[in-house]
Amino acid sequence: MGSEVFKELNQAGHKVFAPSHSELDITDENKMLDYVQQISPEAVINCAGFTRVDDCERHQKLAFEVNARGAENLAKASNKVGALMVQISTDYVFSGKKLGEYLEEDEPAPLNIYGKSKLEGERAVMKFSGKWLIIRTSWLFGRGGENFIQKILKRWQEGAVELKIVSDERGRPTYAPDLARAIRLLVERGLKGIYHFANKGIVSWFELAGEVFELIGDGPRLIPIKAEEFGLPARRPKNSALSTKKIEQALGIDIRHHQSALKDYLTLLGLYKD
């Protein structure tokens, strides 16, 4: 996600500093403060995170250190220089029990360590930042990062003739470049508070996989299964669809359907030709 945000801001003419993890560890409060004070930015955008949901269950201390304490360190540093603190958060702060799309003001109730650590990060940002913007997103896909689509494509390309895909979890996929553009617009317009962003269209993982291989025109046989059958360490919300009415109204935009974004992504991978 960080590379897409960097590209979007850079192309828009902004001066962007994007240190890697090896160059700057957000869990090191003193180094983070020194770095932010040195460059004195107008906005600090936190694209770092421990996002492997099941690994968060296995490494809970690390999950909170990165997703919560790291966000707190950035919030304190941004406050020191009067910068806007921008935190990217997740749909997994919700329980999934709601029937409709989640609004920004709905009460969080995460089911897993990843969601709990990201929620704690949100609260740290609100507590320690003078100016803050929290953007929750969901089911992210794009270049340069592990994601669901990349995983199923890899398994197919390695020779899998059938794939078992979860059919009882639903959400809204998000294309990383579209999210990056929304982040830029929010920052440029000086908006603050909590916003949700995802591409349009609510699907299950099984339905999303079907869309991917339908666009490619080839693929393995897909078998729908219940989440419980996988026996993964982390529980996931059954419904994590985010409402994006607030951000669309605030920015005056009409977010495109994820199927349109999916075509762009598969074209980028050389797997789709219109």
Q: At what angle do helices 113-128 and 70-81 cross, to 10 degrees?
A: 20
**Average pLDDT of the segment spanning 223-245:** 96
| Res 180: pLDDT | 97
Per residue in 177-216, pLDDT (tens digit) is 999 999 999 999 999 999 999 999 999 999 999 999 999 9
pLDDT band per the 50, 70, 90 thresholds, residue 246: very high
Phi, psi of 195 (to 5 degrees): -135, 150
Q: Which residue has the higher pLDDT, 1 or 42?
A: 42
pLDDT band per the 50, 70, 90 thresholds, residue 10: very high
pLDDT band per the 50, 70, 90 thresholds, residue 154: very high
Q: What is d(CA 148, CA 154) in angstroms, rounded to the nearest whole number?
A: 10
| Domains in the chain, CATH or no CATH each | 2-146+172-201+241-256 (3.40.50.720)
At residue 1, does pLDDT exceed 90? no
Going by C-alpha positions, the residue among 149, 138, 164 that lies closest to residue 214 is 149
Catalytic residue numbers read 114
| Res 121: pLDDT | 98
| Res 218: pLDDT | 96
